[in-house]
Amino acid sequence: MLHPQFQHVLTVQYFTMAGKRKRNKQGPQIHSFEELEKVLLENITTYKSAEMALLFLMEKYSFNVHLLHQVIANLGQKLNISFSNVQFQDIAPLVGLDHLRLANEMKTFPLHRSRIPTQLFRSIIEDLDAMILQYGPPIDHETEKARSYFLSPIFNHLVVIFQGAFRNKPESMLPGQITSQGRIEYYFKIFGAVAMVFIEIKKKIGDTGTGRLDAIAQVIAECDVCDWVNTQSDFNVPIYAILCDGEIFEFYQFISQASSPHMFSRGTYISDQPPYATIHRFRLPDLADSNNSLAFITALRPICELIFDIFLLGYFSVLEAHCNHSIQVSGADILGMQESDNLVAWVNSYNKAACARNRFRGAREACAKGQIIASNLKVESAMESLEERYGFRFYYAMESHHHSPYSISHVPIMDRVQPIIHDWDIDQVEMA
């Protein structure tokens, strides 16, 4: 029998996931390369753009992702698909929005800050300084690539906390001739599923206007494709997206339904400091003013902690999906199935991840109350729950033990990566 301490958690998870609607994979089947190419070209005539034709093709038909790769590669420049070309007025119906209301009716989901160690945040700042020495200050960045390099320390340091669970895939979800004009995008996969996408665009988002709406349209398109790719592997998890123009950060969530419209919502954060405003756009001060360095630092930390919480949500949701997959694969009644090593491992990891997330958020709450010592202790405890030890300039992976109390060590498919620094030998290095 499954250990009693897991039964209640699994029962709750099972019925929670069973109640979620999954993207329909039962549309008309397309089995051949020639048929898919023909249908795609016909849809381009109907929807007036290759981008929208592709998205609605994914909604209406069922076909293999590898077939789509072949079609895109074969058509080449005839398609020249770029989701930066998608316009809000065209894609709004896909997520139940009225383009005439300018996204004002968009639903929201709550954002949280998960506190990170101050020393880790200091290392992010130090690496940003190194980026400035290489590429100049943000005001001098003439390409989206330079701006992306400048912001990369944020993700480099936060991803490492998960010890290789998250993998950054800096390429299109649909390889071939699909272009990414005017933007940089990174897809963060965990245990086989895309959980988060970061989209950085060259042009300023602005507060209003068509440009901002079309930037949101890009986010919807990317999330829709990522979710479709996940569905091909039977993953049904939310897609979290971060949109950035180098100055403003916005957060979004995409949850697919059995058929369109899908759920697309904007992240909002209720400040825990006076005047307790509700915020959905997070702005970095201009570093061109030498007096703004401290303002930049204090504005960046909340953004880093919001991003870290999004990583935790992605980690948590994919663990939940694997737990439920293990239950379904067992083919047994949930209250009477035999104990499975894989299942117990996923549940242990899930429970520890939930504990860590609560401690990270609790650490931020303690900090907001001025309880800095208590906050730091909570962060340390939370980091241990994710099996992470952080040093002054280096990350050290803990050895895996059979009865380890940490989340990441319990994951049954984890491909653990040994840090290069693990084999550091000062005598040999000095002589090299």
What is the C-alpha separation between 182 and 205, in angstroms, rounded?
A: 12
Mark residue 286 as left, alpha or beta (left: phi above 0; alpha: psi -120 to 50; beta: remaining).
beta
DSSP string, 29-61: B--SHHHHHHHHHHHHHHHSSHHHHHHHHHHH-
Q: What is the 3-state secondary structure (H, E, C) of 387-432?
A: CCEECCCCEECCCCCCCCCCHHHHCCCCCCCCCHHHHCCHHHHHHC
Given this model, what pLDDT does residue 170 score? 64
Pick the closest to residue 254 from 240, 234, 235 (CA basis). 240
C-alpha span between 47 and 34 (Å, rounded): 20
Measure the CA–CA gap between 151 and 248, rounded to whole angstroms.
12
261 cis-preceded (ω within 30 degrees of 0): yes
Q: What is the pLDDT of residue 372?
A: 95
Residue 223 to residues 51, 240, 373, Cα–Cα distance (Å): 13, 8, 39
Low-confidence ranges of the chain (pLDDT < 70): 1-26, 76-78, 170-183, 202-208, 290, 329-341, 387-419, 430
Check: CB of residue 163 under 8 Å from CB of residue 416.
Answer: yes
pLDDT digits (tens, 9 = 90+) for 245-273: 888 999 999 999 887 899 999 999 999 88
Helix ranges, 252-371 (H): 293-330, 341-368
Of 397, 356, 396, nearest to 378 by C-alpha is 356
- Model-level pTM? 0.84
Q: What is the 3-state secondary structure (H, E, C) of 228-279?
A: HHHHHCCCCCCEEEEEECCCEEEEEEEECCCCCCCEEEEEEEECCCCCCCEE
Cβ pair 360, 430 in contact under 8 A? no
Residue 210: predicted pLDDT:
81
Give the span between the Cα atoms of 219 and 252, in whole angstroms. 8
Q: State pLDDT tens for residues 101-157.
A: 888 899 999 999 999 999 999 999 999 999 988 888 887 877 777 778 888 999 999
Q: Which residues make Cβ contacts (< 8 Å) with residue 291, sequence separation at least 6?
A: none
- Encoding tokens for residue 352? 């520890």
Q: Are 174 and 222 in contact (CB under 8 A)?
A: no
pLDDT, residue 258, reads 81
pLDDT of residue 414: 56
Q: What is the pLDDT of residue 334?
A: 44
For 379-412, write each residue's pLDDT tens digit.
Answer: 999 998 876 433 323 333 333 333 445 566 566 6
Q: Which residues is 263 bridged to in the sheet?
A: 255
- Mean pLDDT of all residues in the chain? 80
